[in-house]
Amino acid sequence: MTRFLVVNGPNLNTLGTRDPDVYGTLTLSEIEAKVGRKAEELGVQVTFFQSNGEGSIVDYIQASSGEAQGVIINPGALTHYGYSLREALADSRLPVVEVHMSNIHAREEWRRHSVVADIAWGQIAGFGWMGYVAALEMLAVLVREEEAK
């Protein structure tokens, strides 16, 4: 069965209470439940991981990528400077979709640059929790199309 990793970086464990005007009021576990329901509809599996430490995320991607067909990642603050994360994603050779709950391109200048963007198949920003579901839907279709070739 097709399996995707859904990886969340620093501070995303505080969703629901962290700046709700920017990130909404759903907790990470509530978002994971919504993504899990969509995965069931699509007939794919998802495995969730969150860490505030870049090394832990790198270790997880390295350990788990051999059993996955793609990665959905919200790198959080690592978006802007997480080069070891970027390299782990690139080395996985998996399709990557980058997700941001807020529109990073409409926020402070320092938030607008992503070190992950150039290795990702695409980026979804500004649609809150729905970005994760959209990423899953798109990744499932794209991976199935690639497998059909």
CATH number of the domain encompassing residue 129: 3.40.50.9100
| Rg over CA atoms, the chain | 14
Residue range of the domain that includes 76 = 3-148
Mean pLDDT of the chain: 95
What pLDDT band is residue 108 in, cutting at 50, 70 and 90?
A: confident
Residue 2 in 3-state DSSP?
Answer: coil
Percent of the chain at pLDDT > 90 equals 86
80 is catalytic: no
Catalytic-residue membership of 100: yes
pTM of the model as a whole: 0.95
Q: Which of 100, 105, 113, 132 is catalytic?
A: 100
Average pLDDT over residues 124-140: 97
Half-sphere exposure (CA, 13 Å, Cβ side) for 121?
18
Domain tally, the chain: 1
Q: Tally Cβ neighbours within 10 Å of residue 14.
A: 13
pLDDT in tens, 27-79: 999 999 999 999 999 999 999 999 999 999 999 999 999 999 999 999 999 99
Residue 4 has pLDDT above 90, yes or no: yes
Q: How far is residue 6's CA from residue 40's CA, in Å, rounded to a whole number?
A: 15
Mean pLDDT of 94-121: 91
